[in-house]
Amino acid sequence: MKFRIALVTLGLGLAAAGCTPAGTGLMPDPSEWAVTWIDGAALPEGSDASVSLANGEIVFRGGCNSFMGLRRDPASGVISGPAQLGATMMACPQAQMALDDALGAALRRVDGTAIPVGQKEGSIALTSGGRAVVVLAPI
């Protein structure tokens, strides 16, 4: 299932990775999310990228391919995964592949969650070293 991403003009607070720590109730299981922001940039017009969480398994659908291997412990809220994520290997147009590359690179660094500053209510940030690398909005 594909989701159209609502693009949002990002404020400097998020660009500077402004986040507040997240509790364990963030990102309920099961849930569906739209990817709105990767490494400081809003997704291009017409991009589709989404995330689903079920039974602790997080699956990302990028511009063309899917990424799996990250898990979220519902008790602690800790996100963990292997050094190398699993991914499908479909060939797609260059713009979709670029989105996949950016999303995959960001996901390899994820080590936590936070509440992003200045974003749509209910959004969450996937963080690396306390800095936002991917922002998700509820669908």
Residue 59 phi, psi dihedral angles, 5° rounding: -120, 125
The tokens for 18 are 């402004």
- Angle at the Cα of 107 (from 54 to 91), degrees rounded to 5? 90
**φ and ψ of 34, to 5 deg:** -105, 135
Tell me: pLDDT of 3 over 90: no
pLDDT, tens digit (0-9, with 9 covering 90-100), for 15-69: 334 565 555 557 778 889 999 999 999 987 778 899 898 888 889 998 889 999 8
* 99 touches 63 (CB < 8 A): yes
Query: Could you give the CA distance from residue 23 to residue 21 in angstroms, rounded to a whole number?
Result: 7
pLDDT tens digits, one per residue of 55-107: 888 899 988 899 998 888 877 777 777 667 888 999 989 988 888 889 989 98
